[in-house]
């Protein structure tokens, strides 16, 4: 180790990189972590956390709507976007400071600069020109919004800018049918924007269970979102008072903002990966083995830059595993199966395990259980919404392969259901669990009738 200045150099101060740096330093390793922008990465600075705060803000709209049915008069309720953004920014600054404190507290050095890898062990700090040699390098540089390469794209925004708009757009056109497009469409709509969602496929949310996809789209349309399928934005023009999005079907939509949410691209450019001989896979992400090791034995990569499963808790576990394995004499790696996820749409989705289509494609004979009902909370208010729950069960073993929920609290419910699925619970185990009444979640343990075998 004497040849090295450091045991671990982490590139990228997002959730995964920070976890790896902190754990490695706690285990006694000499660690530096470089971040060119703000400590906290996509999730904390311009992703999950600020998004969830905006989602909370947006949900007051239907809370006020429901309140009337319960006897409340809510007079003069008004929404102020700049207040929300300012309060959100304060909270993000607090979290960023906490991240910095935790990393330094663990004994890792924070380097506020972009860095470049020069060879398998050397990193150059661009701000100072200093070269540091590390026994291991961990690349945790995340990703950035993909571009569409259309005329006028510079007039559009991505989720990065959506968090800093000076005013709430009165009208917004969003291209994409994935997590980000759907979440922003729902939250802007609830806050009062007129939203058009344009998606190139014949259904939103590819990869999710088909019943969930159709149900969420139905709820979005019922809330006034104009969902246009099999369509794409071909061109954006600036006009004096607005933008105009030209679609492939010939339509032209006027809007205050046009947002592109067409996936994210791993940050692999201009960080010296080629110089070090780090191989990328076909999708341009860093190719790694199950221990997160790249084609260069001293260089590891975790999180979105590897595009395995671009979710924050996954990156955190991958980073933790690398630190434990290299410095804690405790080698382990993350099992990427049965990872729960949520889309904070309105209503939200919680999902874990196989969709019906994926289980079928894997050749598993199935029993499908499904229920759709009006949430109790919406009965007095008369709000037009329904919860959907679905269990995908393997016929032979009775194992619950997938749990899919759309409705208020779906993400919270699925976090718990994921424990059962991960443990290999059977439908019988679900049935043997006594319902907790009155809840929505009780439906998960009282589903008796197969809708399909």
- Site map (CB under 6 A) of ligand NDP, residues 302-341, x = contact: --------xx-----------------------------x
* DSSP labels, 354-397: --HHHHHHTT--EEEEEEEE--THHHHHT----EEEEEEEETTT
Contact between 401 and ligand NDP by CB under 6 A: the answer reads: no
Q: Does 269 bind ligand NDP (CB under 6 A)?
A: no
CB nearer to ligand NDP: give 261 or 323: 261
Decide: is 163 part of the binding site for ligand NDP (CB under 6 A): no
The whole-angstrom separation of Cα 88 and Cα 343 is 20
Q: How far is CA 343 from CA 70, 108, 198, 216, 419, in A?
A: 28, 34, 18, 10, 19
Query: In angstroms, rounded to a whole number, what is the distance separating the alpha carbons of residues 298 and 199?
Result: 42
Q: From 5-13, 113-121, 178-186, 432-440, give the range in contact with ligand NDP by CB under 6 A.
A: 178-186
Question: Nearest distance from residue 155's CB to ligand NDP, in Å?
Answer: 17
The answer to whether 426 and 399 have CB atoms below 8 angstroms apart is yes
Catalytic residue among 121, 144, 333, 437: 437
Q: Is 437 a catalytic residue?
A: yes
User: DSSP per residue over 238-257, as a string?
Assistant: E-SS-EEEEETTS-EEEESE
Kindly give the pairing relationship between strand 400-406 and strand 252-255: unpaired
**Residues 129-158 within binding reach of ligand NDP (CB under 6 A):** 148
Contacts of 422 (CB under 8 A, 6+ apart): 338
The correct pick among 342, 359, 368, 401 for binding ligand NDP (CB under 6 A) is 342
User: Nearer to ligand NDP by C-beta: 185 or 323?
Assistant: 185
- Report the relative pairing of strands 122-125 and 131-139 from DSSP bridges: antiparallel
Residue among 125 and 343 whose Cβ is closer to ligand NDP: 343
Q: In terms of CB distance, is 95 or 262 closer to ligand NDP?
A: 262
Residue 216 interacts with ligand NDP (CB under 6 A): yes or no: no
Which phi and psi (to 5°) does residue 415 adopt? -55, -40
Site for ligand NDP in 191-210 (CB under 6 A): 199-201, 206
Specify the residue, 136 or 163, whose C-beta has the smaller distance to ligand NDP: 163
> Residue 81, exposed/middle/buried by CB under 10 A (0-12, 13-18, 19+)?
middle
Distance of CA 97 to the CA centre of its chain: 22
Residue 262 interacts with ligand NDP (CB under 6 A): yes or no: yes
DSSP 153: G
Q: How many angstroms from the chain centroid is the CA of residue 206?
A: 14
Task: Please pick, from the candidates 32, 181, 197, 378, the single residue that binds ligand NDP as defined by CB under 6 A.
Answer: 181
> Which member of 263, 328, 375, 409 binds ligand NDP (CB under 6 A)?
263
Residue 338's Cβ-count burial label (10 Å; 0-12, 13-18, 19+) is middle
Is residue 344 part of the contact set for ligand NDP (CB under 6 A)? yes
Shortest Cβ distance from residue 183 to ligand NDP (Å)? 6
Nearer to ligand NDP, 177 or 266 (CB): 177
Which residue's beta carbon is nearest to the bound ligand NDP? 178
Binding test (CB under 6 A) with ligand NDP, winner from 179, 188, 300, 430 = 179
Does position 169 interact with ligand NDP (CB under 6 A)? The reply is: no
Catalytic residue set: 437
Can you give the binding site for ligand NDP, defined by CB under 6 A?
A: 148, 175-181, 183, 199-201, 206, 232, 261-264, 310-311, 341-344
């Amino acid at each position: 180790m004497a040849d090295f200045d450091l045991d671990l150099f982490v590139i990228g101060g997002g959730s995964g990189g920070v976890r790896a740096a902190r754990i490695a330093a706690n285990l006694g390793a000499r660690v530096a972590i470089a971040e060119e922008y703000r400590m906290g990465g996509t999730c904390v600075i311009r992703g999950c956390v600020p998004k969830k705060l905006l989602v909370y803000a947006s949900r007051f709209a239907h809370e006020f709507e429901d309140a009337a049915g319960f006897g409340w008069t809510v007079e003069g309720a008004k929404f102020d976007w700049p207040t929300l953004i300012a309060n959100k920014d304060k909270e993000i600054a607090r979290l960023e400071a906490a991240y910095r404190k935790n990393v330094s507290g663990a004994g890792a050095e924070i380097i506020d600069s972009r860095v470049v890898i020069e060879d398998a062990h050397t990193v150059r700090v661009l701000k100072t020109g200093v070269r540091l040699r590390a026994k291991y390098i961990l690349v945790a540089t995340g990703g950035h919004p993909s571009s569409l390469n259309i005329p006028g794209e510079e007039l559009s925004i991505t989720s990065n800018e959506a968090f800093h708009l000076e005013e709430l757009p009165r009208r917004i056109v969003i291209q994409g049918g994935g997590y980000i497009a759907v979440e922003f469409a729902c939250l802007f709509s609830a806050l009062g924007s007129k939203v058009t969602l344009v998606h190139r496929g014949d259904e939103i949310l590819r990869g999710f269970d088909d019943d969930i996809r159709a149900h969420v789209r139905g709820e979005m349309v019922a809330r006034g979102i104009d969902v246009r399928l099999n369509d794409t934005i071909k061109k954006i023009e600036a006009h004096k008072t607005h933008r105009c999005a030209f679609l492939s079907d010939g339509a032209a939509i006027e809007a205050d903002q046009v947002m592109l949410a067409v996936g994210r691209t791993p940050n692999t450019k201009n960080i010296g990966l080629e110089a070090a001989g780090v191989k990328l896979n076909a999708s341009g992400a860093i190719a790694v083995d199950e221990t997160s090791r790249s084609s260069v034995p001293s260089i590891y990569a975790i999180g979105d830059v590897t595009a395995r499963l671009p979710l924050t808790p996954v990156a955190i576990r991958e980073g933790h595993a690398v630190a434990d394995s290299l410095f804690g004499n405790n080698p382990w790696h993350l099992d990427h199966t049965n990872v729960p996820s949520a889309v904070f749409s309105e209503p939200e989705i919680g999902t874990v395990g196989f969709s019906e289509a994926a289980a079928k494609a894997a050749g598993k004979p199935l029993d499908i259980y499904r229920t759709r009902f009006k949430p109790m909370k919406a009965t007095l208010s008369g709000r037009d919404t329904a919860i959907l729950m679905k269990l995908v069960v393997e016929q032979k073993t009775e194992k619950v392969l997938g749990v899919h929920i759309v409705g208020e609290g779906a993400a919270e419910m699925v976090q718990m259901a994921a424990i059962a699925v991960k443990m290999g619970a059977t439908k019988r185990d679900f049935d043997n669990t006594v319902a907790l009444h009155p809840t929505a979640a009780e439906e998960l343990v009282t589903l008796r009738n197969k809708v399909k075998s």
